[in-house]
Amino acid sequence: MHNDSVSPVPPDPFTPLIVAHARMLKCVESLRDLLHAPWSAASAAAVDACLSAHIAEHHRIEEEDLFPLLIEASVARDKLGRMMALIETLTLDHRDMERIWLQLRPAIVRVSGGRRAVLDSFLVDCFAALQVIHVANEETVLFPLARTTLSGIQLAALTRRIRRGRGAVHSV
């Protein structure tokens, strides 16, 4: 008797991160739109909610779940130098995005509360450019490298960690 069953392919742990990136980039576009159109309290509140959640939760998932696992796997596969340099760059990006967001957010919060405020267009442009470059670096360099560095067991464990109790990555 011939068995035609195929082993199930484990879910890709990077899919929810890529989906979150796409949503976040839409929020960044909405932020940029605030520079050129009258703000409404609702649009400012939506931008604030989206970007605040993304920055807090998404960065934490990458730094607490993904990066340590990649470092551990890289040691075993003799890829530690390249991986550490990439992770350091991405972590510095996270801190830069957080610093810029802390400067932008007060104006957005004021508008979401019905008050007037002015956004710093230079900071918005810096924030947007950093987000675009960072996402491209993760999706074209980090995630493909991770797929070849992590074992199937590690990929499955990462998928479980992202799904378990980390709902914001799916909703951001």
**Alpha carbon distance 123, 170 (integer Å):** 27
Could you report the per-residue pLDDT of 125-167, keeping only the tens digit for each? 999 999 999 999 999 999 999 999 999 899 988 888 888 755 4
> What topology is assigned to 14-164 in CATH?
Four Helix Bundle (Hemerythrin (Met), subunit A) (1.20.120)
Domain ranges of the chain: 14-164
Could you report the per-residue pLDDT of 36-91, keeping only the tens digit for each? 878 889 999 999 999 998 898 899 999 999 999 999 998 877 778 889 999 999 99
Residue 167 pLDDT: 44
**pTM, whole model, 2 decimals?**
0.85
Could you report the per-residue pLDDT of 97-111, keeping only the tens digit for each? 999 999 999 999 999
User: Coil, helix or strand for 68?
Assistant: helix
| Contacts of 73 by beta carbon, 8 Å cutoff, 6+ apart | 149, 150, 151, 154
Which segments of the chain are extended strands (E)? none
